[in-house]
Amino acid sequence: MSPPPAPNPIRDSLIARADALREGGAPAEARDLYRLVLDRHPGHGPALAGLGRILLGLGQPTAALESLGAAVAADPTRLDWLADLAVALAGARRPAEALSAAEGLPATAGALGFRADRLEELGRRDQAIALLDDALRRHPDEAELHRRQGVLLRRAGRAAQAIAPWRALVALRPGDAAAWSSLGAGLGESGLDEEAEKALRRAVALAADEPDWTYNLAHFLIERDRLEDALPLLDAAVARAPERAHYHTNLGVCRLGLGDIKGAIAAHRQALALDPDEPEARYDLAWALLLAGAWEEGWAAHEARWRMGRFTGRRAAGPAPTDWPMPLWDGQPLGPGRTLLLHAEQGFGDSLMMSRLIIPALARAGDAQGIIECPPSLVGLLAQSLGPALGPAVRVVAQAESPPAADAHLPLMSLPHRLGVDSETIPGPDRWLRAEPAPRPPSSPPRVGLVWAGDPGNRMDRLRSCPATALRPLFDRVKDAGLDIAWTGLQLGPPAADLPDLPAALAPGGDFAATARVVAALDLVIGVDTAVIHLAGGLGVETWVMLAYVPDYRWMMDRDDSPWYPSARLFRQSRRGDWRGVIAQVAAALTKRFG
């Protein structure tokens, strides 16, 4: 620590003048005066601190460090200078040093919040949360501490615990729209939807001109499939902030769900015009294009999935297929002695559908060897289905932690793009899956398999699965018509218990080869969009698919047939959520088919 400077009227007058200019909004003039003092009095603490503050205010934290560091060295007792040094270190992206400096400050609300921010930057979130817990015990009425705590708890995936600080914040600042919106988000993530919606609407009422709060409410409604309520809110948000790409992305999602495919495409194109590198918008555009039958552009856009966090490909961790040590297959012949790896991704239904393209893909690869990698439960089915056509040059293997050695690879869902598949010319055989039908009694009545629910982990499941109670009119209609039908339950998982009287044909944990034997012995399969439906279609079994108003992209719109599955007939909702109407269509068709 340097001794305090001796009084100097001229120097002290210049410092006072510089301080006044700085506080009065004349930073350039103040900076020049501080530098004039330092030219004459090097190491003068107040001048160094003043210059550092000027540089901080000008957005130059790195430049401010030298002056502020020297000021603190000259007089470590000046905690205001130490605080400025901590801010400069944080601004220069030196969080560890900023944290160390701030630990020398009194435990004020501001200093504790600053330290928590630096801990978060350093990846020490649990310590930041614990520090904020202590800070709130000391300063329970400090709104910004509650805000910080709510943000960190939500980032940590502790939405339920984040509710308390957000509640405290809106109690301290009832007019804070941002706080109400954050409270609504936390409540919604915790399943408290009624209270969440009230909080989100309160935010909109407090700041109707701020589009973020309107957008947040719309997003909440979309996640709960209340698209009709969300659409006008999104339109309003987009009108107020047309430059925000993610607004257009969710507008596209909402329009798609309401059946406005052209409107969805337009919204996603606008999102990409604003942010061409946003993979979510491009992937959502792919869905809309594929639904509309624009497959060439749609399959190309579908490749954006590998730049999205929720698509990690074949494993829960590790690189996406685009980052594997072998190149992606470009669709050209590989030549003798080379090996092409084709590997499953996403769900079982996706793999079964895309397995149609394996034979034409390997034909395109020329004389190359082939490896088909898939989940263990698909190995037997694909081996017995593809083996006769492909011979010993191709083997089917179960997915392992590391991919098999190959010269090139491609995920199955990328085959349509590589092969140039369009809705009128899907290559490969119409019946590409093979199974020996399970024995059935001679002269038995028509055997009809039924599946009504998919994987609850699928984002589309709440739309595509049919409540078991909605199926009762189907059974009643068959009974009233005097039809003799042997129903067969193809449903697995908890939903199977919803129709306990339906004879179950599948054993939990069985593989798809065993399931295929059961399905191949049926006269008809009726169900929602599940792996069993894709299996039946690939086997060439007559298949009736019950679809949501806006189905998965592969079923497209406004048609009752499928280019993927010639044996399939599609029954569509005429309005959102109308399973009753679909069941009535199926019942009438069933009566005609077997009556």
Q: What is the pLDDT of residue 510?
A: 78
CA angle 547/455/464 to nearest 5° reads: 15
415 and 455 belong to one structural domain: no
312: pLDDT strictly greater than 70: no
Domains of the chain: total: 3
- Supply 318's token pair: 């590790």
What CATH number has the domain bearing residue 504? 3.40.50.2000
The answer to whether position 306 is within a domain reads no
Mean pLDDT of the chain, nearest integer? 91
433 domain residue, yes or no:
no
* 498 shares a domain with 581: yes
What's the average model confidence in pLDDT over 235-263? 97
- What is the end-to-end Cα distance of the chain in Å, rounded? 101
The tokens describing 494, both together, are: 């908890």
pLDDT digits (tens, 9 = 90+) for 356-411: 999 999 999 988 899 999 999 999 999 999 988 888 889 999 988 888 899 999 99
Residue range(s) defining the domain that contains residue 520: 447-594
Residue 71 sits in a domain whose CATH number is 1.25.40.10
Whether 579 and 460 map to the same domain: the answer is yes
Phi then psi for residue 43, to 5 deg, are 80, 10
The predicted pLDDT at position 317 comes to: 40
- Final residue of a domain: which of 419, 435, 458? 419
Given a cut of 90, is residue 214 above it in pLDDT? yes
Q: Which candidate, 592, 582, 548, 547, places its Cα nearest to that of 470?
A: 582
Q: Does 389 lie in the same domain as 482?
A: no
Question: Could you give phi then psi for residue 446, rounded to 5 degrees?
Answer: -55, 135
Classify residue 294: in a domain, yes or no.
no
Q: Are residues 572 and 481 in the same domain?
A: yes
Q: Does the pLDDT of residue 583 top 80, yes or no?
A: yes
Confidence of residue 247 (pLDDT cuts 50, 70, 90): very high
Domain annotation covers residue 489: yes
Summarised one tens digit per residue, pLDDT across range 510-544 is 799 999 999 999 999 999 999 999 999 999 999 99
CA 341/CA 448 separation, integer angstroms: 37
Can you tell me the distance from the alpha carbon of 524 to that of 506, in angstroms, rounded to the nearest whole number? Answer: 16
The answer to the question of residue 346 being in a domain is yes
Q: Does one domain contain both 455 and 397?
A: no
Are residue 371 and residue 471 in the same domain, yes or no?
Answer: no
Q: Are residues 415 and 456 located together in one domain of the fold?
A: no
Based on the fold, state whether residues 408 and 460 are members of the same structural domain: no
Q: Are residues 454 and 394 in the same domain?
A: no
> Does residue 477 share a domain with residue 377?
no
Res. 200: pLDDT tops 50: yes
pLDDT over 50 at 318, yes or no: no
Residue 58 pLDDT level (bands cut at 50, 70, 90) = confident
| In-domain check, residue 251 | no
Q: Please answer whether residues 89 and 101 qualify as being in contact, where contact means their C-beta atoms are separated by less than 8 angstroms.
A: yes
* Final residue in a domain of this structure, among 88, 105, 122: 105
Kindly tell me if the per-residue pLDDT of 266 is higher than 50.
yes
Are 398 and 513 found together in one domain? Answer: no
Is 70 domain-assigned? yes
In tens, the pLDDT along 347-357 reads 899 999 999 99
| Domain's final residue, options 105, 134, 167 | 105
In a domain, 59, yes or no: yes
Asked if the model's pLDDT at residue 319 lies above 70, the reply is no
pLDDT of 316 strictly over 50: no
